[in-house]
Amino acid sequence: MFDKITYLDNAASTRLDERVLEAMKPYFFDTYAVATSEFGYSMGLDAKEGLMVARESIAKTLGASAEELVFTSGETESSNMAIKGVTAALRKKKGSHIIVSKIEDFPVLNTAKSLERQGFKVDYLNVDNEGSADLEQLGSLITKETALVSIQHANQEIGTLQNIKVIADICSEKDVLLHTDATHTFTRVPLDVQKLPVDLVTISAHTIHGPRGVGALYIREGTPLEKWMDGGYQESNRRAGLENIPAAVGFAKAVELVTPEENTRLAQMRDHTISKALEDIPHVTLNGSRTSRTPQNANITFHYVEGESMTLHLDMRGFAVSTGSACFSRSLEASHVILGIGGNHERAHGSLRFTFGRYNTMEDVDAVLDALKEIIEKLREISPLYVKK
Amino acid sequence: MKFPYTEKVLEHFRNPKNVGKLEDADGKGLEGSPACGDMVAVYLKVNPETTVIDDIKFESYGCASNIATASIITEMAKGKTIAEAKKISWQEATDELGGLPPVKRHCSVLAVEGLRSAIRDYEEKHGLISEQEPTTDEVVRNRLKHVMNPMAGLDIVRTELVTKIEVKDGVVRVVLDLPSSHQFANAIKEDLVEKLEALWDVKEVKVVFTEG
């Protein structure tokens, strides 16, 4: 049917960059020992060195020191570790109240729900119709009992960037710890922990052409954090389990390969997608903000049609995109993000998320939108919701 | 490439049959809603002498399973009498399609219900139907047989998720053997509430989850 797949779902996973693989290879075949203590054997010392260099280089991009970065298995683990670790450490000292935004990704959202079942009080912060957190409400929700606030840096589905500076200032002024999930902004949108009083930051390699299954948590020095997964004393006794050194090295390489020019190119594809869809196709709504969004994300609702039908038609023509439709999701639930910004089910079901990456081109954008235009005409033709004007 | 659908499903999805609206339809059925994710409209032209379905068309706001099932079921119903068409089951439609993923059963059942409700509409309009029956536990139970348990691809009654049904003064209370935190809890609840609220004398539907 077609000889090439155009992958436009780079928020979910990305194609590994060959240079990342090359950087990882020695740690599979030559330096495959565990990172030993300084009294260990030489291969173990080399492994330890590799891990240290990777840690330093990633920490530097956040303005952090190497000791403040703990490698994890990715976004899910980092966010679990941050929230469960801080709340366990502060439950008695401070209280059992946390605040998260209602459009967080599942690692934060479902960790919050899990704490709620254990007796924590959780407030789910409102967002406006573009997905920006309600800062006034945030200020009013924080009490002496509040152990942690967790608000993402940018949204996974609609790309909305939070005003993290103001959020951090509010939290710091009220003396509450702040965690932010920066999975979809890391290296794409600047985040400097020296300028920003944020205490914990979740990052991951899978969104930047690094290997899957590796991420990290930035933990500001002095942040109370209880170890939540028992085992050995790795990562300065903060995260048990054999260090995934090849992945950590790959992560560092992936970070190094992201350039400001690439981010500009992604933003051009994003802007072209949004303006072309809005111009060429009637009855569409942009989800999220036109300006305050991650460079790689465009999310648009095509009204009167259902998402899975669109993605299947696109798949049959060689395009991979994702949708907020219930029919597409594992839980059969419509996107909580679109509903969270005040959208109805119809808006969620008809939403498509395009996320761009290193291997996409402007031609891909034109091609997917041309295909989509035809598909939508065809599907609207048979939709009982669509009345021809 | 591995699609989760059979070639027959994909064929009907790509080129659905009997698509559109019949302006002077003798019977019309609309099932589902944008809230539940899928919606299907079925239009009938029926020969009053023979009750044979002369023409049938459908519209769908739905996913591939919904479109494909609506397409095949309109093909199957065309030329049959309404009594025969009413008997076309979801299973027969699915078999014609070579099977559907269990999790998609809900979307395809909707197409079958669309046809049945168009036939019911025709029967009501032509005085072929008796009085509306009041909602009882039994009516609720039968209705819940149309709510899918996505874990099994079977309905929530057959898979014993429904542990209790109470009907009192227009308020229906359904107890489910499922914690509210379950992956499918909200999806099942929405579907269930929608099915029961459609009953003519039901004012409120309460769903109780079983925790722990």
| Residue B84, domain CATH | 3.90.1010.10
Q: Say what the pLDDT of residue A2 is.
A: 55
Cβ–Cβ of B184/A332 closer than 8 Å?
yes
CA B195 to chain centre: 9
Window 125-144 of B: residues touching A by CB (8 A cutoff) are: none
Looking at the structure, do residues B89 and B175 belong to the same domain, yes or no? no
Asked whether residue B34 carries a pLDDT value surpassing 60, the answer given is yes
**pLDDT higher for B128 or A257?**
A257
Looking at the structure, do residues B67 and B166 belong to the same domain, yes or no? no
Cβ–Cβ of B34/A330 closer than 8 Å?
no
Residue from B9, B25, B36, B40 carrying the catalytic annotation: B36
- Confirm whether B111 is domain-assigned: yes
- Averaged pLDDT for residues A231-251: 96
Say if residues A376 and A307 touch (Cβ distance below 8 Å): no
Of the listed ranges A150-159, A193-202, B168-177, the least confidently predicted one is B168-177
DSSP, residue by residue, chain B: ---SS-HHHHHHHHS-SSBS--TT-SEEEEEE-TTTS-EEEEEEEE-TTT-BEEEEEEEEES-HHHHHHHHHHHHHHTTSBHHHHHT--HHHHHHHHT---GGGHHHHHHHHHHHHHHHHHHHHHTT-S-PPPPP-HHHHHHHHTTSEETTTTEETTTTT-EEEEEEETTEEEEEESS-TTSTTHHHHHHHHHHHHHTSTT--EEEEEE---
**pLDDT higher for A344 or A241?**
A241
DSSP, residue by residue, B160-204: T-EEEEEEETTEEEEEESS-TTSTTHHHHHHHHHHHHHTSTT--E
Of the listed ranges A135-144, A174-183, B92-101, B195-204, the least confidently predicted one is B195-204
Our answer to whether residue B63 is catalytic in this structure is: no
Q: Say what the pLDDT of residue B36 is.
A: 62
Residue range B130-156, pLDDT digits in tens = 667 888 998 899 888 878 777 766 778
Cβ–Cβ of A308/B3 closer than 8 Å?
no
Say if residues A329 and A355 touch (Cβ distance below 8 Å): no
Looking at the structure, do residues B73 and B109 belong to the same domain, yes or no? yes
Looking at the structure, do residues B67 and B116 belong to the same domain, yes or no? yes
Q: How far apart are CA B108 and CA A84, in angstroms?
A: 41
**Token duo for residue B114:** 């669309």
Whether B186 contacts chain A with CB within 8 A: yes
Looking at the structure, do residues B151 and B112 belong to the same domain, yes or no? no
Look at the alpha carbons of B170, B176, B179, B183 in this order and tell me if their dihedral is positive or negative.
negative
Confidence of residue A236 (pLDDT cuts 50, 70, 90): very high
Q: Which residues of A touch B (CB under 8 A)?
A: 113, 117, 304-309, 312, 315-316, 325-327, 330-334, 344-346, 349, 381-386
Give me the domain span that covers residue B17. 7-125
Asked whether residue A156 carries a pLDDT value surpassing 50, the answer given is yes
Please count the structural domains in chain B. 2
Looking at the structure, do residues B76 and B141 belong to the same domain, yes or no? no
Taking CA–CA distances from A333, the nearest residue in chain B reads B187
Query: At which residue do the structure tokens 């003519």 appear?
Result: B200
Q: Say what the pLDDT of residue B35 is.
A: 66
- Confirm whether B132 is domain-assigned: no
Q: Say what the pLDDT of residue A157 is.
A: 97
For residue B66, list chain A residues with Cβ-Cβ distance below 8 A: 306
Looking at the structure, do residues B83 and B26 belong to the same domain, yes or no? yes
Confidence of residue B188 (pLDDT cuts 50, 70, 90): confident
Query: At which residue do the structure tokens 């009167």 appear?
Result: A304
**pLDDT higher for A68 or B169?**
A68
- Of B125, B147, B169, which marks where a domain is finished? B125
CATH number for the domain harbouring residue B184: 3.30.300.130
Strands (E), chain A: 6-7, 69-72, 97-101, 121-125, 146-150, 177-181, 200-204, 215-219, 284-286, 297-302, 319-320, 322-323, 351-355
Asked whether residue A1 carries a pLDDT value surpassing 60, the answer given is no
Window 4-43 of B: residues touching A by CB (8 A cutoff) are: 10, 13-14, 16, 19-20, 30, 34-41
Nearest to A345 by CA among A364, A359, A332: A332
Residue range A84-102, pLDDT digits in tens = 999 999 999 999 999 999 9
Our answer to whether residue A171 is catalytic in this structure is: no
Looking at the structure, do residues B50 and B106 belong to the same domain, yes or no? yes
Residue from B107, B157, B167, B178 carrying the catalytic annotation: B107
For residue A334, list chain B residues with Cβ-Cβ distance below 8 A: 37
Shortest Cα–Cα distance, B173 to chain A (Å) = 23
Looking at the structure, do residues B103 and B183 belong to the same domain, yes or no? no
- Of B100, B125, B150, which marks where a domain is finished? B125
Domains located in chain A, CATH noted: 6-14+259-381 (3.90.1150.10), 31-257 (3.40.640.10)
Taking CA–CA distances from A313, the nearest residue in chain B reads B14
Cβ–Cβ of B34/A385 closer than 8 Å?
yes
Q: Say what the pLDDT of residue B130 is.
A: 63
List phi, psi (to 5°) of A44: -65, -35
Q: Say what the pLDDT of residue A78 is.
A: 98
Shortest Cα–Cα distance, B46 to chain A (Å) = 21
- Of B72, B101, B125, which marks where a domain is finished? B125
Residue range A34-70, pLDDT digits in tens = 998 888 899 999 999 999 999 999 999 999 999 999 9
**HSE-up of A118 (CA within 13 Å, CB side)?**
13
For residue B184, list chain A residues with Cβ-Cβ distance below 8 A: 331-332
- Averaged pLDDT for residues B148-167: 83
- Confirm whether B1 is domain-assigned: no
- Confirm whether B2 is domain-assigned: no
Looking at the structure, do residues B63 and B152 belong to the same domain, yes or no? no
Asked whether residue B184 carries a pLDDT value surpassing 90, the answer given is no
For residue A113, list chain B residues with Cβ-Cβ distance below 8 A: 181
Looking at the structure, do residues B205 and B146 belong to the same domain, yes or no? yes
Asked whether residue A24 carries a pLDDT value surpassing 60, the answer given is yes
What average pLDDT is seen over chain B? 88
Looking at the structure, do residues B12 and B114 belong to the same domain, yes or no? yes
Question: How many C-beta atoms surround the C-beta of residue B9 within 10 A?
Answer: 27
Say if residues A164 and A71 touch (Cβ distance below 8 Å): no
The residues, any chain, with a CB within 8 Å of residue A26's CB and separated by 6 or more, are none
Q: How far apart are CA A141 and CA A175, in angstroms?
A: 13
Torsion of the alpha carbons at B15, B87, B199 and B18, rounded to the nearest 10: 20
Residue range A333-388, pLDDT digits in tens = 789 999 999 988 889 999 999 999 999 999 999 999 999 999 999 999 999 888 76
- Confirm whether B83 is domain-assigned: yes
CA A249 to chain centre: 20
